[in-house]
Structures are given as C-alpha cells and as structure tokens.
C-alpha cells in the first residue's frame, strides 16, 4: 500500500480569545405582556429572565457575527491570515446554501480559509469547539475562528406563551489555537433524535411555501426541562470526569442559559463549591441559543468576575436533542 503522509498539528489547543456582540434593542418582560397572558413576576421567577436583546434597524446575524469576530481576532493578537478555518454555528441563518461562514471569512479579510456552518442549536458552540480543537491538534489549520451567531427573535412566535419570553439575539466568537499545555478537555457530546419533537420548527420549506407561513420555534418546555435537569446533569459531571477534575478544581461554570432553575439544579447535582463563579447572563440576554456560552464567557471576563487562566466548565444543550460540553482554560 502506498503510504500517505498524515497531517500533524500542535500538541494541545486552547481558546486564545473571546469576543461578543449583543444588539442594541433592549426588550424588557413588560413588552411581551401585550402578546401573551403572563407577568414580569412569572417570567422572572420561572426563568430568571428580566430582559433580552433583539436586533433592530441595521442589525442582523452578519453584523453581530462580524463584530464578535473582530473583537476575538484583535484580542488574540494574531495575524488574521493565519486563520485556516472559520466555523459558524447557527440555526437562524435563513439560507441553507450558501453557508454564511465563507462570506464572513471574506468580509473579515481571511483569505482562502476553510469555512462552513454547523447546526447544533444551543449545543452549537461546544460542538464547534470540539471541531476546532481537533482541527488545531491535527494540523488542519493553525488557528480556527469559531463563531456562534443567532437571531432567534425572528423565529419567535410572540403569541406563544411557552416561548415568547425565552430567546434573545447575539453573537460570540473565539480564536482556538496551538498550545504547549492543554486548554480544552475531552468533549462529552451526544444526541437523542427520539426527542426531535421536543423543540421544533413550525414549518419546513414546503409547508412554508404552501401555507405562506414563516417558520417559528415551538417547544415542549416541560420535557426539555426534565431532560436538562436529569440527563444533562449527568453529562455535566462526565465533562469533569473526562478532564480528570473534581468539582473543587473548577473556578467557573458556564452552562447554557436556558433557565436559571436548570442552572440551580445542575449546581446542586455537581455539588460545586460556593466560590465557583456561575454564569447568569440569562437575566439580561435571555437564551441566545449557540451564542449563549461565548457571550456569557465574554461577559464574565469583561466584568472581572472570571479571570484569564481559570478553569471553566461549559455545556450546551437543545434542539435535536443534542448536547456537548467540555472543561476549558479561560482565555
Ligand atoms: O435552549 C433550549 C433548551 N430549552 C430549555 O431548556 C427550556 C426548558 N424549559 C423551561 O425553561 C420551562 O419549561 C419554561 C420556562 C418554558 C416553562 O416553565 P414551566 O415551569 O415548565 O411552566 P409549565 O409549562 O409547567 O407551566 C406551569 C404553569 C401552568 O399553570 P398551572 O397549570 O400550574 O396553573 C401554566 O399555565 O405556568 C403557567 N404558564 C404561564 N404563566 C404565566 C405557562 N406559561 C406561562 C407564562 N406566563 N408565559
């Protein structure tokens, strides 16, 4: 057999930088009460959400993704022409083809990078991080720009009492690059297509055209809540085990921001020490789907609550159903 040369990369990978962008329009709970029978009190108590950001004039998934990416590139202090792959994780870009990532790469001045979109809903950032880590370690690219951008407000049914208040728009981006020490633990990921009906899109392309209906998101909130507080709790523990760490060795916990009560349950399950910094960005941003984790990471680092070099656990879960998480060193 003819021997084919294999690619070889860095011994380890780590996140070098993070950036994020939230739209300027602030939407408080009160705004939604004209559409659904609810109250600020109910939404706050049941989810933690006080307000969310929705795109306004001149803002869209592209502007948010570009802003987050520029920040991440600048903070990494690298020459952008060394970025060999650009991955965009999104479920709210309305073109199945072409993907948005190649256009973002061109707009960012990153020539000839491999560029593609992935669809893993609220687990999308952690799915992308697993890919980025492998790409760097296998030498397929020196640096990877991983972007998570979502404009779920455009898919939100304002009259649906179960989801109208949940989602927000935004983007986050990280640069993943080579490292002498390991900064990204083994991914714990999986899926359960048997629960595809737990979070759904109300119309596919055919029915959208036939019925003239714009696809919205629907969700069996109770079913997802139950799954998140049982199966995902164990998966979160598996992320720590996979990285060979105990809860005491963790500094920061950044779970997907789907519901403060889910976060509370995960904390109880993991028995994390009191001093662990916990992301609670759901309060001002709502659930940003794939963009949630990098937006929360940037918020914690920018506010000084979390510090560069600390050890954090990230885990995302959502439509599919899918989940992914890993232990990381904060950039
Ligand atoms: O990112 C993807 C992953 N998504 C998630 O992880 C979301 C997981 N699910 C959830 O976060 C929660 O299920 C929701 C926040 C969506 C809903 O909260 P819940 O505590 O599960 O509400 P529920 O559907 O069990 O309803 C409880 C009560 C009901 O009243 P009764 O029957 O107890 O009298 C509902 O009618 O709350 C009522 N209710 C509302 N009341 C005011 C349901 N929706 C509302 C509302 N405002 N919007």
> Is 260 within a domain?
yes
| CA dihedral over 269, 246, 238, 19, signed as positive or negative | positive
What domain range includes position 248? 188-329
* pLDDT the model gives residue 207: 87
Confidence of residue 70 (pLDDT cuts 50, 70, 90): very high
Choosing from 130, 155, 179, the residue where a domain stops is: 179
Tell me how far the alpha carbon of residue 2 lies from the centroid of ligand 1, in angstroms.
60
pLDDT single digits (tens) 248-299? 999 999 999 999 999 999 999 999 999 999 999 999 999 999 999 999 999 9
> Is 1 within a domain?
no
Tell me how far the alpha carbon of residue 222 lies from the centroid of ligand 1, in angstroms.
7
The predicted model gives 42-65 an average pLDDT of 98
Q: How far apart are CA 94 and CA 101, in angstroms?
A: 13
Q: What is the DSSP letter of 77?
A: T
Q: Is the CB of 261 under 6 A from ligand 1?
A: no
- Residues shown for the chain: 331
* pLDDT the model gives residue 111: 87
Q: For atom 37 of ligand 1, which residue has the closest CA?
A: 42
- Tokens coding 232: 């995902």
CATH number of the structural domain spanning residue 166: 3.40.47.10
Residue 205 has pLDDT above 90, yes or no: no
Tell me how far the alpha carbon of residue 72 lies from the centroid of ligand 1, in angstroms.
36
User: Does 17 share its domain with 88?
Assistant: yes
Q: DSSP characters for 209-262?
A: HHHT----EEE-HHHHHHHHHHHHHHHHHHHHHHHT--GGG--EEEE--S-HHH
The predicted model gives 45-62 an average pLDDT of 97
Q: Is the CB of 15 under 6 A from ligand 1?
A: no
> Is 301 within a domain?
yes
> How many domains, in total, are found in the chain?
2
Choosing from 158, 179, 200, the residue where a domain stops is: 179
Residue 228 has pLDDT above 90, yes or no: yes
User: Does 164 share its domain with 227?
Assistant: no
pLDDT single digits (tens) 58-67? 999 999 999 9
Q: What is the pTM of this model?
A: 0.97
User: Does 215 share its domain with 173?
Assistant: no
User: Does 22 share its domain with 96?
Assistant: yes
Helix (H) and strand (E) counts in the chain: 10, 14
Cis peptide before 235 (omega within 30 of 0): no
pLDDT single digits (tens) 130-148? 999 999 999 999 999 999 9
> Is 3 within a domain?
no
Residue 312 has pLDDT above 90, yes or no: yes
* pLDDT the model gives residue 138: 97
Choosing from 124, 149, 179, the residue where a domain stops is: 179
């Amino acid at each position: 057999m003819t021997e084919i040369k294999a690619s070889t990369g860095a011994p380890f990978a780590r996140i070098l930088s993070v950036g994020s962008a939230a739209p300027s329009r602030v939407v408080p709970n009160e705004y939604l009460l004209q559409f659904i029978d609810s109250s600020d009190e109910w939404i706050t108590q049941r989810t933690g959400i006080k307000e969310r950001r929705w795109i306004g004039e001149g803002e869209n998934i592209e502007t948010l993704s570009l802003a987050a990416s520029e920040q991440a590139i600048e903070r990494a202090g690298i020459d952008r022409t060394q970025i060999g792959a650009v991955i965009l994780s999104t479920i709210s870009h309305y073109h199945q083809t072409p993907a948005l990532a190649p256009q973002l790469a061109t707009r960012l001045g990153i020539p000839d990078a491999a560029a593609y979109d992935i669809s893993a809903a609220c687990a999308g950032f952690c799915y992308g991080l697993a890919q980025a880590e492998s790409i760097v370690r296998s030498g397929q690219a020196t640096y990877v720009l991983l972007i998570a951008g979502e404009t779920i407000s455009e898919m939100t049914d304002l009259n649906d009492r179960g989801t109208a208040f949940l989602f927000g728009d935004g983007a986050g981006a990280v640069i993943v690059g080579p490292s002498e020490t390991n900064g990204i633990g083994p991914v714990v990921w999986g899926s359960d297509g048997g629960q595809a009906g737990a979070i759904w899109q109300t119309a596919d392309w055919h029915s959208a055209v036939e019925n003239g209906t714009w696809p919205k998101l629907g969700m069996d909130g109770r079913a997802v809540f139950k799954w998140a507080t049982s199966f995902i709790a164990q998966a979160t523990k598996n992320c720590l085990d996979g990285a060979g760490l105990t809860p005491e060795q963790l500094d920061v916990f950044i779970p997907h921001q789907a519901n403060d009560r889910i976060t509370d349950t995960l904390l109880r399950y993991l028995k994390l020490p009191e001093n662990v910094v916990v992301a609670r960005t759901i309060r001002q941003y709502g659930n940003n789907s794939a963009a949630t984790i990098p937006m929360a990471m940037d918020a914690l680092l920018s506010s000084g609550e979390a510090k560069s070099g600390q050890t954090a656990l990230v885990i995302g879960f959502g439509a599919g159903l899918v989940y992914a998480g890993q232990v990381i060193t904060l950039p």
